[in-house]
Amino acid sequence: MSERTVTVEVTRYLSVPRLAPYLAEVGGDPAHALALYHWNLQLGSAFQEVLAVVEVVVRNAIDERLRAWNVTRGTDPAGLPYSTDWTLRPAPPLSGLLRTALGPATEHAKRAKASREPGHKRLHAPISHDDVLAQLSFSVWKKLLPPAAPGNAGRQKLWSNALVQAFPQQGGPVANQSLRTPIENLVYDRMERLVSLRNRVAHMESLLQVNVPARLSDSLSLLAYISPPTRDWCAGISRVTEVNAARPVR
């Protein structure tokens, strides 16, 4: 089968609308567009490796602080003390901030439990905090952070009393000291950009217009706020810079 025939066939099934950004980038040449599409897949895979680390590290850092915070919040309206299992019974204002997220996460956890294989070591174990935590999406953590906008008193309170401690290296060299930008704004802005990037990568969308070095910097900076050694490890395994440099030239 000739290279031209392969190009026509692949283009047909990927579809011209999906290939449109790549065709536009290479002057309409289908073969070059497919080469660029292939590179985009590789870049998405490389970014996914980094984002997978960022998501788990951010989740666990926030979880650690919320566990410590929730147990100090006294008792709920029924007189029961709040526990470290904040996904099962969160105290205000966390309960309000996660009102629309915890229900679906719990349902996903129940479905995951129902699909456990017969030999699973937790086959009959009840749904736990960790089960629900694992079902919360990356975007949920952004919803807990206070952006630079009015009307976020609950998030600002949660940040000051708990979440700021999830990013203990905030005063380090990665902080934007020259512009005196509050750490919560730096964290929120980076999270917002990475949530958007993660969505693009997950849906295999075009990354042609993404500022690759800046998004890699966002990822590594977030890790550095939490754990500089983890940041260095992630930077060492990242393929993003290498793949970005191999972008096909028109």
Percentage of the chain modeled with pLDDT above 90? 78
Lowest mean pLDDT among 18-27, 57-66, 179-188, 218-227: 179-188
Q: Render pLDDT for 169-216 as a digit per residue (tens, 0 to 9).
A: 865 444 455 445 678 888 999 999 999 999 999 999 999 999 999 999
Q: How many other β-carbons are positioned within 10 Å of the β-carbon of residue 148? A: 11
DSSP letters spanning 63-79 = HHHHHHHHTTS-B-TTS
Burial environment of residue 114 by CB neighbours within 10 A (0 to 12, 13 to 18, 19 or more): exposed
Report which of 128, 141, 59, 137 is spatially closest to residue 105, judged by C-alpha positions: 137
Q: Which residues pair with 81 in a beta bridge?
A: 75
Between the alpha carbon of residue 32 and those of residues 6, 43, 106, 115, 235, the distances in Å are: 13, 17, 46, 44, 30
Q: Render pLDDT for 115-136 as a digit per residue (tens, 0 to 9).
A: 989 888 888 899 999 999 999 9
How far, in Å, CA of 13 to CA of 141, rounded?
37
Give the residue carrying structure tokens 């680390």: 53
Report which of 15, 131, 148 is spatially closest to residue 63, judged by C-alpha positions: 131
Confidence of residue 2 (pLDDT cuts 50, 70, 90): confident
pLDDT at 182: 78
The chain-wide mean pLDDT, for the chain, equals 92
pTM for the full predicted model: 0.90
Task: Count how many residues are written for the chain.
Answer: 250
Asked whether 29 and 3 are in contact (CB, 8 A), the reply is no
**Where on the phi/psi map is residue 182: left (φ > 0), alpha (ψ -120 to 50), or beta?**
beta
pLDDT at 180: 59
Report which of 90, 121, 83, 122 is spatially closest to residue 106, judged by C-alpha positions: 90
Quick check: helix, strand or coil at residue 75?
strand
**Structure token digits, residue 69:** 């915070």
**Structure token digits, residue 223:** 């890790």
Give me the mean pLDDT over the 233-249 stretch.
96
pLDDT at 178: 47
pLDDT at 248: 92
Sequence-ordered list of residues with C-beta below 8 angstroms from that of 231, at least 6 positions apart, any chain: 220, 221, 223, 224
Sequence-ordered list of residues with C-beta below 8 angstroms from that of 213, at least 6 positions apart, any chain: 241, 244
pLDDT at 149: 63
Percentage of the chain modeled with pLDDT above 70? 93
